[in-house]
Amino acid sequence: MLVNKPPMGWNTWNTFGHEISDALVRESTDAFVEQGLKDAGYQYVVIDDCWSKKVRDPETDRLVAEPAKFPEGMKAVADYVHGKGLKFGMYSCAGQRTCGDYPGSFDHEFLDAETFASWGVDFLKYDFCYKPVGVDGQLLYRRMGMALRASGRDILFSACNWGSDDVWSWIRSTGAHMYRSTGDIFDNPESYRKIALSQLHKLGTSAPQCFNDVDMLTVGMYGKGLVGTTGCNDADYRSQFALWCMYSAPLMLGCDIRRMNAQTRALVTNRDLIRIDQDAEARPPIATFHPWNEKLMTLFKHLDDGSYALGFFNLGEEDAETFATFSDFGLPAAAGYDLALESVFDGERLVSREYLRLNVPAHDCRVYIARLQKR
């Protein structure tokens, strides 16, 4: 199977938008390895929109890389990425034009899939702009799913229709391996919180071979780049990354990985958080909220080795005390078990019976690996 676990990688869009080039991708590929992302499990280097010429080749009707940006063409870029032991991803769109107003793949699905395969593409992000009026969006994703299967190469199909048309109810049938269930993310606290809360009732539709994609991470952007707005602080980035991991969401970094600071690097390579995200069973978490403070959310997630992930999230503007009652997760007081907890951030260990009460700073989180302990 092509995608047993949520895909992990890096995408150009959040920081660079249309300002992409062969040199940027090669430098970022080098940084991908040097910064420890490859060793942490990240695989995909993905070029987003605005990579092609404004028109197709008039003789072959094929997409052509913009020579001012990619003078050696896309196969040379793919070969460079592959030479570092990584996988190469690209972008197209189900409409007549891409969101950046470049040629889309509408009515060219099989030709474009063949072209991508010939270049060595391993991942295709497939957007949803400029769809002709009256054309069924589901049908367009079916077409590209079939085209990729016919291309002769294993290509991860990342469907990006922004959560339109109840996508979670039908997208698996198209052959897609991950699907966007939300609008675009921006680098501010309100954006990632809104996205995270919007997906709580849809996480059960995410599973191996087709994962719910809650958009690319803004972790480490600090307000810079295309989707940089107010920016976030390190507490926000801890919460955002931990939420994505608790959701078993694809982890697609969007910051300038050439310039990650130590805090960002430590967070996105945190072994315990990645372990939670990459859990083989990819089960959705149980979510509970503080009875009189809806900004305090607790997530409890079953892991495949018999342990659990327990996360406390303060989505508010003030430090607050919160608690979890273990019976809400299926562990009643009479069960005869406590929970032995170890923090994924600092290794703090504690044992708690029936419930856990603790303080969580504003915007921040506390996440633990939990195991049952017989009394």
Question: Catalytic one among 127, 213, 338, 364?
Answer: 127
% of the chain with per-residue pLDDT over 90: 99
Average pLDDT in the chain: 97
- For the stretch 188-241, pLDDT in tens is 999 999 999 999 999 999 999 999 999 999 999 999 999 999 999 999 999 999
Instruction: Answer for the pair 228, 181: CB distance below 8 angstroms, yes or no.
Output: no
DSSP state of 325: E
Reply yes or no on whether the pLDDT at 65 is more than 90: yes
pLDDT interval class at 25 (50, 70, 90):
very high
pLDDT interval class at 1 (50, 70, 90):
confident
Q: What is the mean pLDDT of residues 152-164?
A: 97
Buried b (16+ CB within 10 A) or exposed e, 352-373: beeebeeebebbbbbbbbbbee
Question: Catalytic one among 30, 165, 184, 234?
Answer: 184
- For the stretch 357-371, pLDDT in tens is 999 999 999 999 999
Cα dihedral across residues 273, 279, 282, 284: positive or negative: negative
Bridge partners, residue 251, by sequence: 8
Helix (H, G, I), strand (E, B) or coil at 243: helix
- For the stretch 73-92, pLDDT in tens is 999 999 999 999 999 999 99
**What confidence score (pLDDT) does residue 88 get?**
98
346 catalytic residue (yes or no): no
pLDDT interval class at 253 (50, 70, 90):
very high
Reply yes or no on whether the pLDDT at 296 is more than 80: yes
Reply yes or no on whether the pLDDT at 279 is more than 90: yes
184 catalytic residue (yes or no): yes
Reply yes or no on whether the pLDDT at 103 is more than 80: yes
- For the stretch 26-57, pLDDT in tens is 999 999 999 999 999 999 999 999 999 999 99
